Structures are given as C-alpha cells and as structure tokens.
Amino acid sequence: MASMERGPTDGPIETHEMARLSAGPTRYLLRRSFRALGLRMTIDPRDGLLVTMPTPDRRGWANPDGRVDRFLGEHEGWIVRQLGRFERQRAEVAALGGMRDGGRVHYRGEIHRIRVGEPADPIQPTSVERVGGDAEDELVIRPTIRERRPIGLILEAWFRERAAEAIDVEVARHAPALGVTPASVVLRDPATRWGSASRKGRLMFSWRLVLAPPASLETVVVHELAHLRIPGHGPDFWSLVAGRRNDHRADRAWLRRHSHLLHYR
C-alpha cells in the first residue's frame, strides 16, 4: 500500500538572488547541493529560474564569486526564452482562479470547479465530494465548524488519499505481470519528477499524478515498475513498458504539456 510522505526536511541550501543581465534584472533561486558537480540551470515549475551549484566544501567551490553571473550571462538567450514561456504558463494557472471557492483545478485529467458547501454535521469530519455540475464537474468541500485548514490543504489531503488508492490499484495490476515486487511505495511532492525507482526496490510517486488523466498515472506506475527489472532507458526497457502501455508516449506527452497546471502551490 502506498504511504504518504512529505520527504526529508533537511536538504539543499536555497537563497533567492538577482542576476544583472542585459535584458534587465532577473530573479533566480540559487540551490547549493552536495550532489552537484558543477553549475546547472533549469526552469522550476514553481520557482522559475533555478541555478544549482556545488556546496562550498567541494573542491574548487569555496569562493565561487562571479562564476554564477558569468554562467548566466553566457546563457542569457535561453533564459529569456524560457522565462517568457514560464510567465505565460503562470498566467494560464492564474486564470484557473486558485485554490478557493469558485476556483478551478485538474483532477483525473478534467477541470473541476471548487465549491464550498454548507458545513457538515459537527460530529462528522470535513468531507470532499466529487459531483457532476451543470457546466463542469465540481469538488464540493463541506468543512466542519471547527475546521481551521485552508481550502488548499483540505483538497491536498483528499488528493493524496485518492492518489494512494489509484497508485495501489495500478501497482497491484502491473507488478505481477512484470515479475517484480516493490519493497515500498511512497507518495511525495517533488517539483520536477513524477516517479522514481531505487536499486533496493523502493518506488516514489508524486501525489499530483492523481490530477492527471488515469492513463498518464498508469503509465508512470508501469515506467517505475519496469525500472525494477531494467535500470536504464534502452530499447529493452521501452519494449517492456510498451508491452503494458502501448500509448505510453502520448501519456508522457500529456504530462510534459500540462505539468505547470498540476504544480500549483
């Protein structure tokens, strides 16, 4: 059964910095990680421009003054293009209205409107119910009088439970056919990965997969289960995946196109 974790509290050191590029001041998140071997930059779906560098105790990185600025300056064209795309995606997310009464959110690949209903019976816990609306489906939250969590946290807890259920179903369906048995299955909230498999048989999945279409969730589960047999991404691996999910390319493409809509805060 999938267990739900938030991951370790310790981790890389992160600070917000400002780069002076010819296009203007550019804000970025600087992450110092013991895993990093050099400078690397990506566009994080939540934080925008992310620059990762080794920690000061790594040889040659005790005094990195100027290295990050030079690195960003050399890649300014890429940064400008990607941040423009990032801002367009943020506008698309904002148009959904956020995690509030009347806002809209993906669930199982479909847009659902959030509606806060009348408080539930004080004796009963806060509930979330998926119902069919006139124009679109709704997620109806009925909080108790004593409920203190904001709407976003109420929904996240409900999504995590639904994700655990859905992932357990797919693991039970595909693991025997692939001839594997996971040592453990946990749910976390990584910013850029939908799942992972360790050499010890431990599987990790993003709970946000439950916001995607069921087919995409299933493909990610098959992908990570297949890694318990074949670690790399060679032809044999993809043949194994295709044997269980013939449309895996389309499923993964959906996640690439819509990732920004699922990684709301």
**Residue limits of CATH 3.30.2010.10 in the chain:** 104-262
HEC-encoded secondary structure of the chain: CCEECCCCCCCCEEEEEEEEECCEEEEEEEEEECCCCCCEEEEECCCEEEEEEECCCCCCCCCCCCHHHHHHHHCHHHHHHHHHHHHHHHHHHHHCCCCCCCCEEEECCEEEEEEECCCCCCCCCCEEEEECCCCCCEEEEECCCCCCCCHHHHHHHHHHHHHHHHHHHHHHHHHHHHCCCCCEEEEECCCCCCEEECCCCEEEEEHHHHHCCHHHHHHHHHHHHHHCCCCCCCHHHHHHHHHHCCCHHHHHHHHHHHHHHHCCC
Domain 104-262 matching CATH 3.30.2010.10: the answer reads yes
Please list the pLDDT of the chain residue by residue as tens digits (265 residues): 666 554 444 556 889 999 888 888 999 999 998 888 899 999 887 788 999 999 988 888 888 778 888 999 999 999 999 999 888 888 888 889 988 999 999 999 999 999 999 876 777 889 999 998 677 899 999 999 888 999 999 999 999 999 999 999 999 999 999 999 999 999 999 877 999 999 999 999 999 999 999 999 999 999 999 999 999 999 999 999 999 999 999 999 999 999 989 987 6
